[in-house]
Amino acid sequence: MTVMVPSRTPAQITPGRQALDSALHQLAQAAEHLGLDEGMHAMLATPRRSLTVSVPVRREDGRMDVVQGYRVQHNITRGPAKGGIRFHPATDIHEVTALAMWMTWKCALVGIPYGGAKGGVAVDPATLTTRELERLTRRYVNEILPLIGPEKDIPAPDVGTDEQTMAWIMDTYSVNAGYSVPGVVTGKPTTLGGSLGRAGATSRGVQIVALAALGRSPEGTTVAVQGFGKVGSLAAQFLADAGCKVVAVSDATGAVYRAAGLDVAGLRAWTAESGGVRGYRHADALSHEELLELDVDVLVPAALEGVITAGNAARIRARLIVEGANGPTTPEADEILAAQGATVVPDILANAGGVIVSYLEWVQNTQAYSWSAGEVELKLRDLMESAYGEVRTLAAERGLTLRQAAHVIGVGRVAEAHRMRGLYP
């Protein structure tokens, strides 16, 4: 399939713009495969609502800083908008739009009744005190308040945010409403209506599809994981628990390697104490680039977008790449990997466990009821395995990559929902 992406001057190519170009390229391929008309393609290529806000934050020394925040609802045709909130200095409106678009296809692919959204604040949370972070979160939520709500748009954690952030969001929204509204966010602490199993859900989903795609016993399978945050650290743990040998992991502070396999639990304890993997004594240090190019069976990118590119794809030796992160592989890199015979389990499938259990959390909140951890995991496994089966079958039938097949299914379902609803007025 040939798809045109508009050319840009180097100054226009921010990481966020690159992510959005990748998302638009993937959509264009799916639209062509599905035979969508131009109008439908244009509607799916543009977000329904985008809000940019300026967020003033009072610092501990009395100064006031102003940071940019965003909330984008890409699509709300199949249900309320759903998507995480990212606190990262490099986030911008393009990145948030790309992430919102991927959420739309992801929710449709795994069959949950949501549209796609994303939020972001261009800030490095590590430079703020806890009180500054709380003030920033509450003020950002106030600025996006008209958009969010349990029937409208439901945020969740992403890079740089966690269950404490979600608790502040739930409180800010509830104080404004005048009563408790647990269903306004997911990924909350369980004491506020968070679901059992949500904290590890994305990583559990990564494990489920990685083992399905491996198609053989995991014993001795070597794995490298880029990113040792909420998704990467538990993905490493769950893959190790299943019998894989996790030989390398990285985070923003560095990368570590041990040929005989890392003690993932020990490394998680070290990271919790020291703030990063760097300096872990029971492993050798590695560069970020070396980790991606290691001779391992499985590579799990679980950090940020655009890390596997035309510049390094030919040196990636893993035969199976399972995308814990959103958008880690550029379209050019995808082609190189496919030509090398590598299998990529795409983000909208591989990391869908998070939004699946977020959906289960929202269902429990709206019913004021809770399920056991076992019930939640069974439902998660069921939805992940059936989505994986559908993607694999379509890819085999039509000679598509798993990413192309996943997009054809996700985009196709959203287009069909638009067709059935018709265009108002």
Whichever of 315 and 419 has its CB closer to ligand NAD, that residue is 315
As a whole number of angstroms, the distance between CA 32 and CA 35 comes to 5
> Does residue 119 belong to the site contacting ligand NAD (CB under 6 A)?
no
> Does residue 270 belong to the site contacting ligand NAD (CB under 6 A)?
no
- Binding ligand NAD by CB under 6 A: which of 252, 363, 394, 417? 252
* Residue range at the interface with ligand NAD (CB under 6 A); choices 20-28, 174-182, 244-252, 412-420: 244-252
Q: Which of residues 373-392 bind ligand NAD (CB under 6 A)?
A: none
> Does residue 228 belong to the site contacting ligand NAD (CB under 6 A)?
yes
As a whole number of angstroms, the distance between CA 276 and CA 281 comes to 12
> Does residue 118 belong to the site contacting ligand NAD (CB under 6 A)?
no
Tokens of 113: 């009744």
> Does residue 195 belong to the site contacting ligand NAD (CB under 6 A)?
no
Residues 6+ apart with CB under 8 A from 369: none
What does the per-residue mask of binding to ligand NAD show for 121-160, with x meaning CB under 6 A? ------------------------------------xxxx
Contact criterion met (CB below 8 Å) for 69 and 143: yes
Residues 6+ apart with CB under 8 A from 338: 344, 401
CB of 63 to ligand NAD, least distance (A): 26
The identity of residue 41, as a single letter, is H
What are the DSSP calls for 203-258, one per residue?
Answer: HHHHHHHHHHHH-S--TT-EEEEE--SHHHHHHHHHHHHTT-EEEEEEETTEEEE-
What count of residues does the chain have? Answer: 425
CB of 382 to ligand NAD, least distance (A): 19
> Does residue 221 belong to the site contacting ligand NAD (CB under 6 A)?
no
Positions annotated as catalytic residues are 118
- Binding ligand NAD by CB under 6 A: which of 92, 251, 361, 377? 251
Whichever of 75 and 351 has its CB closer to ligand NAD, that residue is 351
Other Cβ atoms within 10 Å of 331 Cβ, number: 19
As a whole number of angstroms, the distance between CA 361 and CA 22 comes to 31
- Binding ligand NAD by CB under 6 A: which of 150, 182, 197, 354? 354
Per-residue buried b or exposed e for 199-219, using 16+ beta carbons within 10 Å of the residue's own CB: bbbbbbbbbbbbbebbeeebe
- Binding ligand NAD by CB under 6 A: which of 41, 230, 245, 403? 230
> Does residue 302 belong to the site contacting ligand NAD (CB under 6 A)?
yes
* Residue range at the interface with ligand NAD (CB under 6 A); choices 27-35, 221-229, 259-267, 385-393: 221-229
Residues in a beta bridge with 226:
250, 301
> Does residue 100 belong to the site contacting ligand NAD (CB under 6 A)?
no
* Helix H or strand E encompassing 86: strand 81-87
- Binding ligand NAD by CB under 6 A: which of 28, 244, 325, 402? 325
> Does residue 304 belong to the site contacting ligand NAD (CB under 6 A)?
yes
Closest to 319 measured CA to CA, from 340, 291, 336: 340
CB of 328 to ligand NAD, least distance (A): 7
Note the residues at the interface with ligand NAD (CB under 6 A). Answer: 157-160, 202, 226-232, 250-252, 288, 302-304, 324-326, 351, 354
